[in-house]
Amino acid sequence: MTERMVDISKIDPKNCDEVEMSAYSWYLSNSGQCPNAFLGFAVARRHNQSKQLKYDAGSVFDKVNWIDIIRDFMQMQYDAHNMNGYLDYKKLLGFMEIKSQQ
């Protein structure tokens, strides 16, 4: 077990690990800005893990583009005709894109 401090203001969703993205999505949920952000991240994260052949505990610290992962998951919701899911992910994606431009 380990503890890690994460500075939300320095997170770039285009290049961060699961710990940083978890902290950012938790912040969005708890602040009320995007109440479903953490749940959305957790589901998309799990789906992304299942697609990777070599995912292990060390992968938690790999820097990835979470905007692409969320965008793909959002598209999957659209293709499945799940408009509520699509709109939830679209809202989360909007926050992430603004954050990555800062």
List pLDDT tens digits, range 30-76.
Answer: 999 999 999 999 998 888 777 765 656 667 888 999 999 999 999 99
Place of tokens 């909007």: 94
Tell me the domain boundaries of the chain: 12-52+63-101
Predicted structure pTM score: 0.86
Instruction: State the pLDDT at residue 12.
Output: 96
Within 13 A of 51's CA, how many CA atoms are on the CB side?
Answer: 9
